[in-house]
Chain A
Amino acid sequence: MKIVQIAGYLGSGKTTLIIALSRKVAEAGMKVAILVNDVGAVPVDGKVIEEYGLTVKDIGGGCICCQVAGTMIRTLETLAKGPKPEMIIIEPTGIAVPESIRQTVMMNAGKTGAVLGPTIVLFDTTRTDKLLTYDTLKRLVTTQIRDADIVALSKVDLSSADATDHAERAVRELNQTAKIIRLSTVTGEGLAVLADQMREVTVQA
């Protein structure tokens, strides 16, 4: 059971990406479960769930602390005993710190046999300066980028080439080791690469 986190600030496109990625991964034959902080906000209807064999679970939203952490651990245990998905994609709240989520999900790794896939953090290329200069945003966004194994530069279809380059440089300055992938859920750019990374990369066993 591999656990992949798709984090990133509010409005960066996590939910849209998760649906697109989970379909891609499911198409490759993997059983996928999605943990989201608001099932109501996920545009996945019963037909899609049935067609792609997805399991969608609520982990609650709001506070980023222990109330969600406990739910997450419990849900992972339940999934490990029951549907036994091969991949679990977690979408935490947009103000979550990826490292905290990582530590939480791996608390039970011994019991569930879970391994950790890459932590993917979305960075919205249409808001680079806002996200990295607004004093009330930059600390969180910076922390999220630094915690990433992969930074997906999202909405590149809406950004000019210069803007995307600018976003990539800014992200690279903050994280020298993360893989950076350009992404558009509209054109499909980057989706296949991300899906491959999710399947192939194990960060912690």
Chain B
Amino acid sequence: MTTMTARERVMKFLKGEKVDRPPIFSGMGNVIKPVLDKNNIVFSRVHRDSELMAKAAAGMYREFGYECAVVPFDLGVEAEALGAKMNYYDEVEGLLYPTVKEKSVVSVEDVKIPADLKNAGRIPIVIGAIKALRRELGDEVAIGTYVLGPFTLAGQVKELDQLFEESFLEPEKTAKLLETLSEFIIQVFKVYQEAGADYFTLREMGGTSDVMSPKSFKSLIKPHLIRIISEMPRPSILHICGDTNSIIGDMAECGADAVSVDQKNCITDTRQKLGQGAIILGNFDPIKILHKGNANDVGPAVLDALKGGASAVWPGCDLWPEVPSENMEALMKALKSV
């Protein structure tokens, strides 16, 4: 087999085609301090500047050979586009991701999908970053992007306790809200595709069995995931954090090209349930292994995920920015040896 570019490897892999080795990549936020420091990028600024965002994302490939460039890095882009006020923690010392300070929705009538979506909130920043990445990286590296799933997004724009109670007492209201948010999510994915993104991760952390019973996941959330996945660009990945062991079958039935799980998922069982043909991504603990672990332990830990049944190794969630260089290098070395 002739040598593949990183982009070819990722794209063929996600389409289920033969590749020389599993790609080493992620579909979630992965910007780390060695890259930020080398490029003199302040963390709180990287979320609000297309060029900085692109530079940071490209830096993971340039510095470490990580076979992707993924934007954005935080989980507030969609909520902000829908009118939520954000806290960027400019005045706080240390690394804090932007979070929602003021929610914008009480009922579905409050959800207004922006007529000019490409200019709503920070969506233009992400679009700009994707375009900058495409210019800089050309056909070399796959550009990934992600959008929150409808229930997780609902929790960002509406008070959580109201959302949980309404979903039980007036499920039809919640269903309408999730339906409208699903339409918004599809549109966001499409503008990112138009900008040049290659692969697309739908992140529905709110669906975890740590928080939501499998029965509620199936009735409340799954139908909307099915719809989004049928209309969003491909290749698509469905990611849910936390305990997904009881819902992994439902996750697969949502129809994405791949599923992504975290360290709480028993990947051996998942492989057995989904079969050899399924693309399963995961599932090392990004904090315990990559951030806090010793470099010598990183390789065995990530290889364990492959041995357990992962099709390619993904972290269980975003990379915490303070991953030491040597740990990232150890990850790359181990996974290139496969």
Binding site for B on A (CB under 8 A): 9-11, 37-38, 40, 58-67, 69-71, 73-75, 78, 94-95, 97, 100, 104, 107-108, 130, 134-140, 143
B316 close to chain A: CB less than 8 A:
yes
13 other A-B residue contacts (CB within 8 Å) besides A58-B92, A66-B317, A137-B168: A9-B161, A38-B101, A60-B97, A62-B99, A65-B242, A66-B286, A66-B316, A66-B318, A95-B155, A134-B165, A135-B213, A136-B220, A140-B211
A134 touching B94, Cβ below 8 Å: no
Choice from B29, B87, B165, B212 contacting A139 with Cβ under 8 Å: B212
Top 9 nearest A-B pairs (CB, nearest first) are A70-B320, A66-B317, A10-B161, A134-B168, A139-B213, A67-B97, A136-B168, A62-B99, A136-B167
Choice from B155, B168, B216, B320 contacting A66 with Cβ under 8 Å: B320
Choice from A74, A134, A143 contacting B95 with Cβ under 8 Å: A74
Enumerate chain A residues within 8 angstroms of B161, measured Cβ to Cβ.
9-11, 94
B288 close to chain A: CB less than 8 A:
yes
In the complex, how many residue pairs between chain A and chain B have their CB atoms under 8 Å apart? Answer: 117
* Chain A: CB-nearest residue to B317: A66
In the assembled complex, the Cα of A60 lies from the Cα of B76 at a distance in Å of: 12
* Chain A: CB-nearest residue to B169: A134
Residue among B74, B76, B213, B321 having the largest count of chain A Cβ atoms under 10 Å: B213
Choice from B215, B220, B291 contacting A70 with Cβ under 8 Å: B291
In the assembled complex, the Cα of A95 lies from the Cα of B159 at a distance in Å of: 12
Enumerate chain B residues within 8 angstroms of A75, measured Cβ to Cβ.
94
* Chain B: CB-nearest residue to A103: B288
B156 touching A130, Cβ below 8 Å: no
With both chains docked as a complex, state the minimum distance between the C-beta of B265 and any C-beta of chain A, in angstroms: 13
A69 touching B287, Cβ below 8 Å: yes
In the assembled complex, the Cα of A73 lies from the Cα of B213 at a distance in Å of: 29
Enumerate chain A residues within 8 angstroms of B92, measured Cβ to Cβ.
58
B241 touching A62, Cβ below 8 Å: no
Enumerate chain A residues within 8 angstroms of B155, measured Cβ to Cβ.
95
B4 close to chain A: CB less than 8 A:
no
In the assembled complex, the Cα of A67 lies from the Cα of B106 at a distance in Å of: 26
B165 touching A70, Cβ below 8 Å: no
B165 touching A94, Cβ below 8 Å: no
Choice from B160, B164, B220, B318 contacting A67 with Cβ under 8 Å: B318
Q: Can you give 21 A-B contacts (C-beta < 8 A)?
A: A11-B161, A60-B99, A61-B100, A63-B75, A65-B262, A65-B317, A66-B286, A66-B287, A70-B291, A70-B321, A70-B322, A73-B292, A74-B95, A78-B94, A104-B287, A107-B287, A107-B292, A134-B165, A135-B216, A139-B212, A139-B213
A70 touching B211, Cβ below 8 Å: no
Name the prevailing secondary structure of the B interface residues: loop
Enumerate chain B residues within 8 angstroms of A58, measured Cβ to Cβ.
89, 92, 96
Q: Looking at chain B, what size class is its interface with the partner chain? A: 35 or more
A74 touching B322, Cβ below 8 Å: yes
Enumerate chain A residues within 8 angstroms of B287, measured Cβ to Cβ.
66, 69-70, 73, 104, 107
In the assembled complex, the Cα of A98 lies from the Cα of B320 at a distance in Å of: 20
Enumerate chain B residues within 8 angstroms of A65, measured Cβ to Cβ.
205, 241-242, 262, 317-318
B50 close to chain A: CB less than 8 A:
no
With both chains docked as a complex, state the minimum distance between the C-beta of A96 and any C-beta of chain B, in angstroms: 9
Enumerate chain B residues within 8 angstroms of A134, measured Cβ to Cβ.
164-165, 168-169
Enumerate chain A residues within 8 angstroms of B316, measured Cβ to Cβ.
66
In the assembled complex, the Cα of A139 lies from the Cα of B164 at a distance in Å of: 11
* Chain A: CB-nearest residue to B89: A58
With both chains docked as a complex, state the minimum distance between the C-beta of B203 and any C-beta of chain A, in angstroms: 9
B292 touching A136, Cβ below 8 Å: no
In the assembled complex, the Cα of A139 lies from the Cα of B220 at a distance in Å of: 15
B209 close to chain A: CB less than 8 A:
yes
Interface residues of B in 316-331 (CB under 8 A from A): 316-322
B210 close to chain A: CB less than 8 A:
yes
In the assembled complex, the Cα of A95 lies from the Cα of B241 at a distance in Å of: 14
With both chains docked as a complex, state the minimum distance between the C-beta of B134 and any C-beta of chain A, in angstroms: 27
With both chains docked as a complex, state the minimum distance between the C-beta of A154 and any C-beta of chain B, in angstroms: 14
Whether A140 contacts B210 in the complex (CB less than 8 A), given A134-B164, A135-B215, comes out as yes
Whether A62 contacts B156 in the complex (CB less than 8 A), given A11-B161, A40-B101, A134-B165, comes out as yes
A10 touching B160, Cβ below 8 Å: yes
A67 touching B75, Cβ below 8 Å: yes
Enumerate chain A residues within 8 angstroms of B169, measured Cβ to Cβ.
134
In the assembled complex, the Cα of A137 lies from the Cα of B169 at a distance in Å of: 11
In the assembled complex, the Cα of A140 lies from the Cα of B87 at a distance in Å of: 27
In the assembled complex, the Cα of A203 lies from the Cα of B272 at a distance in Å of: 38
Enumerate chain B residues within 8 angstroms of A11, measured Cβ to Cβ.
161
Choice from B75, B95, B168, B241 contacting A71 with Cβ under 8 Å: B95
